[in-house]
Amino acid sequence: MNMTTNMRPVSSAALKQAVEQHLTYTLGKDAGHASVYDWRMALSFAIRDCIVEPWFRATRSTYEGQRKRVYYLSMEFLIGRTLEDAMINLGLLEAARDVANEVGFDLREIIEDEPDAALGNGGLGRLAACFLESMSTIGCPAFGYGIRYEHGLFRQRFEGGQQVETPEDWLTLPHPWEFARPESAYEIGFKGEAVDGGWRPAESVVASAYDMPVIGWQGRWANTLRLWGAKPTTLFDLERFNSGDYAAAAEPEALARTLSRVLYPDDTTYQGKELRLKQEFFLTSAALQDILRRFRTEYDDLAKLPTKVAIQMNDTHPAIAGPELIRLLTDVHGMEWSQAQEIARATLGYTNHTLLPEALERWSTWLMGNVLPRHMQIIERIDDDHRRATKRPAHVGIVRNNEVQMGELAFIMSHKVNGVSALHSDLVKKTVFHDLNEIHPGRIINQTNGVTPRRWLKLANPPLATLISDKIGEGWIGDLEQIKTLEPFAKDADFRRDFRAAKRTNKVALSNWVGETMGVKIDPDAMFDVQIKRIHEYKRQHLNIFETIALWHNMRENPNAGWAPRVKIFGGKSAPGYAVAKEIIHLINDVASVINSDPVTKDLLKVVYPPNYNVSMAERVIPATDLSEQISTAGKEASGTGNMKFTMNGALTIGTLDGANVEIREQVGPENFFLFGLTADEVVKHRRNVRHARDAIEASQNMQSVLQMIVEGRFSPSDPDRYHGLVDRAWNHDHYLVAADFDSYYDAQRKVDALYLDPDAWEEQAVLNTARSGFFSSDRTIRGYMADIWETESALVGEESLT
């Protein structure tokens, strides 16, 4: 089967006809009165039509070849926009541009009319979206399973410099990329009681499927993202209704309406809320019922499940999959306990994404027993079996201190457990799963994260993508290792000039956007120094803003000392309940307004923080970045994936030896990376000194001045005490070692200045960063999962090679 030859190139004329057909007959609009929204919908339907054929063919090929399928279970898929990505992967961008122009619209305007699908918080959700695209590009038969949240991640505004959240409502307008599948629906139970060898739930909802096609590069393959929406089992409890208890009669509806209503807005912290546990079970049970139903239409022996099905748990959020699969195999399909346990383990894999204690899910046995009584029994039996089999004392168990430890449960129920960068996987073995690693040597492996070069280079950065393709051909798009053939051009002055020109085009576009949306004028020739990610103490945006203050202070003292002009760009959301992160946001905005109105430094330094950072903003900012800030406390950032996007786009990194920074530095060469700060081992030792912050501050004139300016109210003159708490924490509760790393960071930044003032030397290093980014394609990551965890093969093997 060959997808490429069957995918007819669509001419502009043919596409125009298809768009007009949809405008008229699907949308019922007259072209003379069509808005940008109408044209976007018509174009989306026309493009979607081109996906349907390859999508069917991929499905048929999987059935006919009796291929093993991968099921990626995730509470988050941070997709962003779909239209442009689909057009790029189908090679229809140019045809679409012609069509838009002919009907009197700008294609960019149509593309940007699409709201982001923000069904995720940050790295974990965006990784899931990159993985889906790579699985389709590679031809790995797969389904993503998630929740169709009516409200994705909240929108962020700033009022007086403070974060204000408003609800996100991407589904208010029809979403052209989903197909409702009301015929694929499953009942999901909650509460009630465990009865011998079974469960009688007291409540239930229906999980109803919505499918989105995921098209790979050049349309060779397509997979499905299946999102579940909650529906009431019955609109009314008739018995209660008839007996006059009207409020209680509507309860089933109330539960269904809340279940898939909203995404929990926490990244790397969990809250322990009953509704969240219900959401996790809702996703997991719907997915497993669907997987078993599909398996049973093709095969008769459930013992063969692991040969045809691989299920990946994205973090512990779907870790109830272990007990639920055992329950379905035993209670529903009559399999014997020990075989069910073996089959489940051989089918499941678990990815760990963090070591932060506040992120490790633990559910009280009371809550678990109440919401999922049968599963609580099963968990206890898994725990007993494991203790007996491994002759371990109680303290290594799943159930400890009256809590179900979801990490332990996921580990024990999986045949492979993976970390997301080399350093992180190493720390997983040494810390959270130290004991389990000794009991099950070889179960923990590493799969370093990656990102899709289609979205993060070709789509986001057309000037650079075109330049690269002109030099080395288009092979890099489907095989990023080929980008290393750019390396020799780092020494080619003409190429460096073109590389610089591409970056400048992106910087001009970003400057214009910042000017229009924020009213701040920034200079495209200044260094664009960018930190965009969730706001979290471990990511240390406060280290960055402290350094900004020191830099500003020193620039004012000595304006002619040959500073490199900079624009500090911040982007990111805080969890609504995370007070310290919100204080950091407030400080950044306060510092920005003081610095941006200072006449002394007006040509040297600006600080901008555009609100509502999301996938689309990342696509705008990353290609325009000179310097990427990856400054987490060593040992805390499991991997990072933004760091990889910057490297691909020719930014240099200033960073600690944390997460995937370690591998980025190895790949690009230590001479092309600005390293600073304590190592993960040193961080652990340093913390033993209770005076670590005090000692560091007392030794640093710069750090003292910064804290002094803040505490005096320099950045909050109308409310001088505003940051007393923050400054007190810097001296006395500096858990993330900002003080200890401050001088090292400040000094590394001055080396960045020096290099920026030598454009030729800077550009050489920037080219080498792009040329050596091949390892960070999510295609490489997915091939690793396929070989080491899923034991699956590409359905495109033997097809024409990926060029």
Q: What values do phi and psi take at 145, rounded to 5?
A: -120, 130
Among 449, 541, 661, 794, binds ligand Z15 (CB under 6 A): 449
Closest approach, Cβ 118 to ligand Z15, in A, equals 13
Question: Which of positions 229-268 make contact with ligand Z15 (CB under 6 A)?
Answer: 267-268
Fill in the DSSP letter of residue 565.
Answer: P
Whether residue 458 lies in the annotated active site = no
Pairing outcome for strands 627-630 and 527-532: parallel
Closest approach, Cβ 754 to ligand Z15, in A, equals 30
Closest approach, Cβ 307 to ligand Z15, in A, equals 28
Closest approach, Cβ 552 to ligand Z15, in A, equals 30
- Residue 359 is a binding residue for ligand Z15 (CB under 6 A): yes
Q: Whose Cβ is closer to ligand Z15: residue 369's or residue 640's?
A: 640
Closest approach, Cβ 24 to ligand Z15, in A, equals 44
Q: Whose Cβ is closer to ligand Z15: residue 80's or residue 565's?
A: 80
- Residue 410 is a binding residue for ligand Z15 (CB under 6 A): no
- Residue 535 is a binding residue for ligand Z15 (CB under 6 A): no
Q: Whose Cβ is closer to ligand Z15: residue 641's or residue 794's?
A: 641
Q: Which residue is nearest to ligand Z15 (CB)?
A: 123
Q: How many CA atoms lie within 13 A of 793 on its CB side?
A: 9
279's CB contacts (< 8 A; 6+ apart) are 75, 147, 259, 260, 264
- Residue 663 is a binding residue for ligand Z15 (CB under 6 A): no
Q: Whose Cβ is closer to ligand Z15: residue 142's or residue 549's?
A: 142
Closest approach, Cβ 402 to ligand Z15, in A, equals 23
CA distance 64 to 766: 47
Closest approach, Cβ 617 to ligand Z15, in A, equals 17
Question: Which of positions 711-740 make contact with ligand Z15 (CB under 6 A)?
Answer: none
- Residue 526 is a binding residue for ligand Z15 (CB under 6 A): no
Beta strands in 81-121 (DSSP E): 117-119
Closest approach, Cβ 658 to ligand Z15, in A, equals 9
In 3D, which of 175, 52, 35, 27 has the Cα closest to residue 114? 175
- Residue 527 is a binding residue for ligand Z15 (CB under 6 A): no
Report the interhelical angle of 493-518 vs 759-771 (nearest 10°): 90
Place of tokens 């692991």: 306
- Report CA-CA distances (Å) from 401 to 318, 362, 441: 22, 10, 26
Which range of residues in 56-64, 119-127, 342-350, 558-566 is near ligand Z15 by CB under 6 A?
Answer: 119-127
Closest approach, Cβ 451 to ligand Z15, in A, equals 10
CA distance 535 to 543: 12
Whether residue 59 lies in the annotated active site = no
- Counting other chains too, the contacts that 686-694 makes at CB distance below 8 Å and 24 or more residues apart are 686/737, 686/740, 687/737, 692/734, 692/737, 692/739, 692/740, 693/730, 693/731, 693/732, 693/734, 693/737, 693/738, 693/739, 693/740, 694/731, 694/732, 694/739
In 3D, which of 387, 151, 186, 343 has the Cα closest to residue 260? 151
CA distance 640 to 659: 6
Reading the block at residue 426, the tokens are 């190493």
Rg of the chain on CA atoms, in Å: 27
CA dihedral (546, 548, 549, 555) positive or negative? positive
Pick the catalytic residue: 284, 448, 641, 792? 641
Closest approach, Cβ 122 to ligand Z15, in A, equals 4
Pick the catalytic residue: 48, 57, 68, 533? 533
Q: Whose Cβ is closer to ligand Z15: residue 124's or residue 486's?
A: 124
- Measure CA of the first residue to CA of the last residue in the chain; give whole Å: 17
Which range of residues in 340-348, 352-360, 472-480, 501-509 is near ligand Z15 by CB under 6 A?
Answer: 352-360
Across the beta sheet with 674-675, the strand order is 605-608, 566-571, 527-532, 627-630, 652-655, 674-675
Pick the catalytic residue: 345, 539, 540, 568? 539
Q: Whose Cβ is closer to ligand Z15: residue 266's or residue 590's?
A: 266
Pairing outcome for strands 566-571 and 527-532: parallel
CA distance 110 to 560: 46
Q: How many residues sit in the footprint of ligand Z15 (CB under 6 A)?
A: 19
- Residue 127 is a binding residue for ligand Z15 (CB under 6 A): yes
Whether residue 307 lies in the annotated active site = no
Question: Which of positions 261-280 make contact with ligand Z15 (CB under 6 A)?
Answer: 267-268
Pick the catalytic residue: 48, 353, 496, 665? 353
Question: Which of positions 276-315 make contact with ligand Z15 (CB under 6 A)?
Answer: 315
CA distance 549 to 703: 9
- Per-residue x/- track, 614-653, ligand Z15 (CB under 6 A): -----------------------xxxxx------------
Q: Whose Cβ is closer to ligand Z15: residue 325's or residue 360's?
A: 360
In 3D, which of 274, 152, 316, 290 has the Cα closest to residue 211? 290
Q: Whose Cβ is closer to ligand Z15: residue 507's or residue 534's?
A: 534
Place of tokens 């040329």: 771
Among 62, 330, 354, 461, binds ligand Z15 (CB under 6 A): 354
User: Hey, how many other C-beta atoms are within 10 angstroms of the C-beta on 304?
Assistant: 13
Q: Whose Cβ is closer to ligand Z15: residue 306's or residue 450's?
A: 450
Pick the catalytic residue: 48, 645, 722, 729? 645
Q: Whose Cβ is closer to ligand Z15: residue 307's or residue 679's?
A: 679
Closest approach, Cβ 269 to ligand Z15, in A, equals 8
Q: What values do phi and psi take at 271, rounded to 5?
A: -110, -20
Q: Whose Cβ is closer to ligand Z15: residue 252's or residue 407's?
A: 407
Among 124, 371, 510, 696, binds ligand Z15 (CB under 6 A): 124
Among 80, 115, 122, 610, binds ligand Z15 (CB under 6 A): 122
User: Hey, how many other C-beta atoms are within 10 angstroms of the C-beta on 398?
Assistant: 23
DSSP letters, 569-625, are EEE----TT-HHHHHHHHHHHHHHHHHHT-STTTTTEEEE--SS--HHHHHHHGGG-
Whether residue 507 lies in the annotated active site = no
Residue type present at position 497: R
- Residue 353 is a binding residue for ligand Z15 (CB under 6 A): yes
Q: Whose Cβ is closer to ligand Z15: residue 291's or residue 660's?
A: 660
Closest approach, Cβ 359 to ligand Z15, in A, equals 5
SS (H, E, C) 102-162: HCCCCHHHHHHCCCCEEECCCHHHHHHHHHHHHHHHHCCCEEEEEECCCECCCEEEEECCE
Chain-centroid distance, C-alpha 299: 35
Closest approach, Cβ 622 to ligand Z15, in A, equals 15
Reading the block at residue 759, the tokens are 């454009």
Reading the block at residue 161, the tokens are 């410099």
Q: Whose Cβ is closer to ligand Z15: residue 278's or residue 317's?
A: 317
Pick the catalytic residue: 151, 416, 455, 534? 534
- Residue 778 is a binding residue for ligand Z15 (CB under 6 A): no
Whether residue 586 lies in the annotated active site = no
- Residue 420 is a binding residue for ligand Z15 (CB under 6 A): yes
Question: Which of positions 462-501 make contact with ligand Z15 (CB under 6 A)?
Answer: none
Chain-centroid distance, C-alpha 751: 31
Return the bridge partners of 403, or none: 364, 400
Whether residue 539 lies in the annotated active site = yes
Catalytic residue list: 353, 533-534, 539, 641, 645
Which residues contact ligand Z15 by CB under 6 A? 121-124, 127, 267-268, 315, 353-354, 359, 420, 449, 637-641, 659
